[in-house]
Amino acid sequence: MNYFIWLAVLAAVIFAFYRYVTRESRVRAAALAQDFPAAWRQVLTERVAFYLSLSKNEKQRFERAVQVFLAETRITGVQVEVEDTTRVLVAASAIIPVFGFPEWQYANLGEVLIVPDAWKQEKDPNKEVAPLDGTLLGSVQNFQNQHYMRLSKASLEQGFRDAMDKQNVGIHEFAHLLDQADGVIDGVPKLALPPELLQPWAEVMQREIQAIRDGKSEINPYGATNEAEFFAVVTEYFFEKPEKLQENHPELYQLLSRALRQNPKKRFLRFSVDPREWLKTLRSKRKFGRNDPCPCGSGKKYKDCHLLQQEKQAA
C-alpha cells in the first residue's frame, strides 16, 4: 500500500514539474491559437507608426509577438485604469526594439506597472550610489531575480501620439532591458552587438556623449547622463526619426542598425518618396486634441489637465 502511495506522490511531483517547465511554451501556444483581436489591430494602425511601416508578413509577425507578450506579461495599473489600448502600446514598446530578433524574450520581466503620470524619485541617503534624482516618466528596477518596469500612462500615450518628437518612454525603458540582457545596464548591449563592433560602439558613444555635454548635438541632453541613458535615448531617436539620425549621426545610425538588425529609414521609404512627409502625416494623426480625454485617466479633458499643467510650467 505504501508503495502505491509513494508512486502516486512521485507521479504528482513529476506532473507538477512538467507543467512548470512547459508553462511558457503552453502559454505561447494558447496565445497564438487565438485570432488577433480587431480592436488591438486598430490601436496599432492608429497609434503605432512602426507597425504601419511594416510589410504584410511583418505586420503578422508583429501581431503574434504582441499576443505572446501580453499573454506572458503582467501589466498592472497603480491608481489608474489600464485599458486594452494601454496594454497594446506597452507590448508595441517592448517589441519595436527587438523586432530584429524574432525569438527574443525579456528574461525575468516580472511586471509592468502603469502609473498616471510622472513621479518624483528622491535620493536615498543610505545608499552610496544614489539613483537619478528628478522627475521620472519610466524606470526599470530589480527585485531579487525579477525586473519591474514602471511607466507613466500619460507619457506612454504621448510617445505614440507624436511619431516625430524623438521621444517614446516605452521604447526607452525596454531599450534598458535589451541593454541589461548581458547582465548589466551599461549602454553596451553585448547580446545584440557583434563582438567586432564593441570597440567602435564604445568610441562613438563616448564621442557623442561629449558632444551633447558640449552643446554640439541635438540629441536629447538626458542622453549625456550616463552610457545607459545614452543607449536608451538614441534608441528612441532611431525609431522615431531615423532619417534625421542618419543625416546627423551616420556612424551612430549604422551601428544601431547592425546592433538592432533593423533599418527603419528603409522601411519608411517603402511607403513614400519622401519619408519626412509620410512621418508628418503620421504625426498629425497622433497629436492630442484639446478636448480629448486626458490619457492619465483623470477623467478631465486634455486641455483642463496635462495641457494646463504644461502651460503653467512654461509660463
pTM, rounded to two decimals: 0.76
Please provide residue 301's backbone torsions phi and psi, each rounded to the nearest 5 degrees. -70, 150
> Are the beta carbons of 257 and 263 closer than 8 angstroms?
yes
239 vs 166: CA distance, rounded Å:
8
Residues whose CB falls within 8 Å of the CB of residue 250, separated by 6 or more in sequence, listed in order: none
State the pLDDT at residue 166. Answer: 81
The grid coordinates of residue 111 equal: 511586471
CA distances to 93, 131, 153, 303, 304 from 308, in Å: 27, 30, 17, 6, 6
State the pLDDT at residue 7. Answer: 62
State the pLDDT at residue 32. Answer: 59
The grid coordinates of residue 183 equal: 547582465
Mean pLDDT in consecutive groups of 10 residues from the start of the chain, 315 residues? 63 53 57 84 92 93 96 92 95 97 87 80 48 53 69 90 82 94 92 93 97 96 95 96 94 96 86 51 50 55 54 37
CA distances to 37, 180, 309 from 183, in Å: 35, 5, 39
Residue 162 three-state SS: coil
> Are the beta carbons of 168 and 292 closer than 8 angstroms?
no
Q: C-alpha angle with apex 291: 288 to 296, nearest 5 degrees? A: 60
Other C-beta atoms within 10 Å of 300: how many?
Answer: 14
